[in-house]
Structure formats: structure tokens, C-alpha cells
Amino acid sequence: MKISDIERGVSVRTRVKVPIRPRAGKVRFEPEMVTFSGLCDNAEHLALVFGPSGAVPHVRVHSECLTGDVFGSARCDCGEQLNEAIMHFGACGGILLYLRQEGRGIGLYNKLEAYRLQIVNGLDTFAANRALNFPDDPRDFRVAAQMLQALGVREIALVTNNPDKAMQIAQHGIEVNRCLCTGVFANETNRSYLHAKVVHHQHSINLSGDYQ
Ligand SMILES: [Zn+2]
């Protein structure tokens, strides 16, 4: 796919500075929140541009997780990863792409149904998805490449443990210069979830240490 194919019809709609106060730390940042027109799935994805982070910007592509991001659910590590990205980008610059792909693309209600299956039937996160007739991970990261193109970004350092995410973004015309791993946010509740991501999808998460 050529870059021009991605760019066609995708543009920045609005840029507005919004002061934010991260959950952890008594700090305040003022990223630019950016909205878009013409994204391939027509969802309301959001970019937070924290300012320059060198010639190759650091980018985190975060999929929405209401339970983790908003309520601090201990079943996953999403809230901690989001907060880590905000604290890092607030201090050093970077771009956070917040994708409205709740439950790895299956939606909030289905995600909670999958949680129930995990608890009642002992399935791991991917087996539970399959039991609900969803693929392991139906997310499409083309939209992230489109957002970066609209922001004028061609080359990135991607903050991720997920090799598939890096591959998909590269396939859609963004040069992924390197990947930077996130911290490890294991606890007694999410440890099997993190383990499944390592075993089934080769995520780079070192689970050999103590819980954090
Ligand atoms: Zn989560």
C-alpha cells in the first residue's frame, strides 16, 4: 500500500490544548488533543500530542479499556500502561494515539462476558474470545497509521510490547524505527492475562520478577 493511498481523504479536524492531571503524580500537562476527518472506520479516535521528542517521535498506540483506564481494573495492565505513557510523554514529548477499540475490538459488553467465561470456565483471555466467536485479536491498526500520516509523521519509535502492532503499523506506511517496551505491571489478578499475551502473541513482557 502506498502512503498516498492512506492519506487520501484523511485530515486533521481540530487541534485544541487541554490541561490534564495524570492519575499518578502531582503534575499537570497540556497536550494538544487532535481529532480527525476521514478515518477508515469512522470512529472517534483521539491523538494527544505532547510536544517534540526528537527527530523520531515516541508514539504509544493505546486501545481504549474503560475498566482499566477509568476504573483502575486489576484484571489487566491498561491503566498503568496509559498512565506510564502520559507521564513519559508529558516529561519528554511524544504522541499518544487513543484508539476506541474497547476490549481489543470486541466492545465493552463482550469483554465483560469474556471475563465471566474466564472466571467461570477457567479460559484464558484469547480462548474466551474464541468461545464468543471472536478472533484472538480483531484490532486493525491501519487507523493509527492514518492518524500519524495526517499529523505529518512518517517515522516513529513505538512504545509497545506487541510485535503485531508494530508490524501492522509498518505495513500501512509508517516506518517503525524501533520498539520501546513498556513497564511490567503485574499483579495477582492480571498475571495470567499477561502470561497469555506472552505465550500466544509473543508480547515482550518480563514476568520473571516480583509483582509491582
Ligand atoms: Zn484493560
Q: 36-45 pLDDT, tens per residue?
A: 999 998 899 9
**pLDDT above 90 as % of the chain:** 58
Q: 58-63 and 155-159 as β-strands: parallel, antiparallel, unpaired?
A: parallel
Question: Is 139 an annotated catalytic residue?
Answer: yes
- Among 32-36, 102-106, 201-205, the range with the most confident prediction by mean pLDDT is 32-36
Q: Report the alpha-carbon angle 36-38-44, nearest 5.
A: 50
Which residues are in the CB-under-5-Å shell of ion ligand 1? 65, 68, 76, 78
- Report CA(64)–ligand 1 centroid distance (Å): 8
Residue 105 has pLDDT above 50, yes or no: yes
- Predicted confidence band of residue 208 (pLDDT cuts 50, 70, 90): low
What are the structural domains of the chain? 3-101+139-200 (3.40.50.10990)
8 Å CB contact between 49 and 97 = no
Span 158-171, pLDDT tens digits: 999 888 889 999 99
Phi, psi angle pair for 7, to nearest 5°: -70, -25
Measured between alpha carbons, how far is 173 from 171 in angstroms, rounded to an integer? 6
| Distance between CA atoms of residues 139 and 74, nearest Å | 22
Handedness of CA 119, 68, 180, 1 (dihedral sign): positive
Among candidate residues 104, 137, 154, 178, the one labeled active-site is 137
Pick the residue with more confidence: 173 or 24? 173
Q: Is 137 a catalytic residue?
A: yes
The alpha carbon of 6 is separated from its chain's Cα centroid by a whole number of angstroms, namely: 20
